[in-house]
A and B are shown apart, each in its own frame.
Chain A
Amino acid sequence: MATDLNQQVAGIKEDYKFGFHDSDANYAFKSGRGLSKAVVEEISEIKNEPTWMREFRLKALDTFQKKPTPRWGGDLSTLDYDQIRYFMRATDRQGRSWDDVPAEIKNTFDKIGIPQAERKFLAGVGAQYDSEVVYHSLREDLAKKGVIFCDTDTALREHPDLVREYIGTIIPIADNKFAALNSAVWSGGSFVYVPAGVSVDVPLQAYFRINAESMGQFERTLIILEEGAHAHYVEGCTAPTYSSESLHSAVVEVIVKKGARFRYTTIQNWANNVYNLVTKRAVAHEDAIMEWVDGNLGSKLTMKYPAVHMVGKGARGEILSIAFAAAGQHQDTGGKVVHAAPHTSSRIISKSISKNGGRSSFRGLLKVTDGAKDARSNVVCDALILDPASRSDTYPYIEIDEDDVKIGHEASVSKIGEEQLFYLMSRGLSEVEASALIVGGFIEPLVKELPMEYAVEMNKLIQLQMEGSVG
């Protein structure tokens, strides 16, 4: 009998907690648990950062400490800031060995078909992802076009002016408590800069799909597309990410200038103990197009609402989100679109699946400011609930200060239909297989937007999740 994957991961984590955490005497650096001015200063010092960044961090720390923990969304009452370790170096990962990785997790990698080279990284064992050769030649190609693509720490060293110009401009330090936290202790994340008129045809994923820095705890991602540029960035992985820390709080800022087009695809599947509190926001200028594709599995609580602020006329924002909430999980996800210029258009499509007592909430904000004439927006959220113990809620927030708008909003909640199950089973499919196919069909409109290998993994993962849920 397959049991719930995430439960296994969570259970194992309990058992291994001390093995993984406290015997790690060879850590290159430990900031210890809890957050203080000293910790923040130490992070900045170790990274050898310029003074302005150090000040940015300290100001953020101050803001973080003053802001109360949000009371809306999910339950954050059990989140203990003093128990969290706020900084670890990539070399810390080498303290573990492949033999320590639980068999269940190795099994999952097999079943999903994760490439050998990526498995160790995902299991938190070293970062020996041997892709240097590919990585190098592709990097050269991009460099010739003037594209910058590196981790954000590197960007701060090599392109400090660019980082300084844009960081914190889309998501200011004081935006929310977790944005402040990230600003204080950020490490890693991706930096992308695409010059005017340059098209990057390959999704920016091949090299960075697995990268120690981009999957950090408090990663900070900053992406700038100059006028007329095109790019697609893909991050994350459908395999359960075996994390040693229970708080992940990323900030992603994206600037899409006039006539540029950008798509940001994320798939995350955190272990069952993780609070995943992410702030993602993009600004789309005149005639720019910004698309977020966001898939969330696992975690204890995910709060994530990718946003697009359309500030130039004719801008377009699109948010596609998939959430899968299993036992003990709460996915509080959705999207925000702000129409702040005329002739802007947006679409939010959200699909959620809840099973075994899992809870998914859709939270959507649609805002049209005064003067944003001829704004058009369509919000669709569909929830599929697999059993009576599971739950789904919808929280649409709509603020419209302009008369000349076209707005559509549809929400649906459904259960797996008995007729659908019977029909498929009458053709030889088992109940589990039939349910998996129906669930797969439910999210298919979004899965087909994913790059091929992610789509394949996503479907296999759903299959695995379903094996644990039926019968």
Chain B
Amino acid sequence: MSMSKVLRIENLRVAVAGKEILRGVDLTVKQGEVHALMGPNGSGKSTLSYALMGHPNYEVTGGKATIDGVDVLELEPNERAKAGLFLAFQYPTSIPGVTVANFLRHAVSNVRNPDRKEGEELIPMRDFRKEIRAEMDELGMDQQFARRYLNEGFSGGEKKRAEILQLAVLRPAFAILDETDSGLDIDAVRIVSEGVNRVAAKHSTGILVITHYERILTYIKPQFVHILYGGQFVEHGGPELVQRLEAEGYDWVRAKHPEAARHEDELEAADTRAQGASA
């Protein structure tokens, strides 16, 4: 693709509930690239995803995120979607009474026609139905699925598939996959990954895969691997990083980055206190 876009994150700092989680994160993703992001539980991976997508609870306290120079952090979440950003949620929200098809038709109508105003025509039902059917076939989803209420009573795996279905029809320039592999059985990881690869090949999507496991990365092959620890990217490398984590865990990361380890421990302590208080 000639008109390739660039997502650039510079020194991004994010606080949640008054607590600073991300302490300056830098990352550049070009369209067509695959990046993997790993890090222990609670290190701030989802925080990065939410902040990029514009969740109101995640306060950006410093830094920038741009797509081709346009500051996306200034935009409402729907404008970010129209600017080409997509997040496959770690925990997708259910919307009772709203069918997958109806929701997705609204989404596609807005994202493909960014100038569309509220209440204006949606994309034609026939074209849309055809398209979504084809994508569902590719993802091995039952056609009935389109008529179910969004994420309502979906199994863990079904939720993740539905996220990738959305990715496929929305065709973003950049997609963040937040633990799309968790909760999927072994075959499903392959099917979903192939779906992602197909979309990426067609639309040269830039991909950031967040995961704890090597398996999904054997299908969606990253050129770049980053480790988030204590609110910062402490290691950058290639696929060899994934193998090392798989084999050794995070102890060596701790040892190598004592300052980040201290922050990681603080976060964990805060979490433990919070859980104690709510129990």
- Contacts from A to B (Cβ < 8 Å): 111, 417-420, 422-434, 437-438, 440-445, 463-464, 467
Contacts and interface: CB of A to CB of B under 8 A. Distances in A.
B118 A433 contact: yes
Contacts of A432: 118
A52 B57 CA distance: 70
A422 B148 CA distance: 20
A424 B95 contact: yes
Given A433-B106, A437-B102, A422 B56 contact: yes
Interface of B: 53-57, 76-78, 80-82, 86-87, 89, 92-93, 95-98, 102-104, 106-108, 110-111, 118-119, 149, 166, 170
29 contacts: A111-B119, A422-B54, A423-B92, A425-B76, A425-B77, A425-B81, A426-B54, A426-B80, A427-B104, A427-B166, A428-B78, A428-B82, A428-B110, A428-B111, A429-B107, A430-B110, A430-B118, A431-B76, A432-B118, A434-B78, A437-B103, A437-B106, A440-B98, A441-B95, A441-B96, A441-B98, A442-B96, A463-B119, A467-B118
For B89, B106, B108, B110, the residue with the greatest tally of chain A CB atoms inside 10 Å of its CB is B106
Contacts of A463: 119
A419 B150 CA distance: 13
Given A418-B56, A428-B81, A467-B118, A441 B76 contact: no
A159 B80 CA distance: 67
B149 A429 contact: no
B142 to A, nearest CB: 21
Contacts of B110: 427-430, 433
Contacts of A418: 56-57
Nearest to A427: B107
A460 B77 CA distance: 24
A438 B95 contact: yes
B43 to A, nearest CB: 22
Contacts of B87: 426
A425 B78 contact: yes
A419 B98 CA distance: 15
A427 B103 contact: yes
A425 B56 CA distance: 11
Given A429-B107, A437-B103, A423 B81 contact: no
A467 B110 CA distance: 17
B90 to A, nearest CB: 12
Contacts of A440: 97-98
A427 B56 contact: no
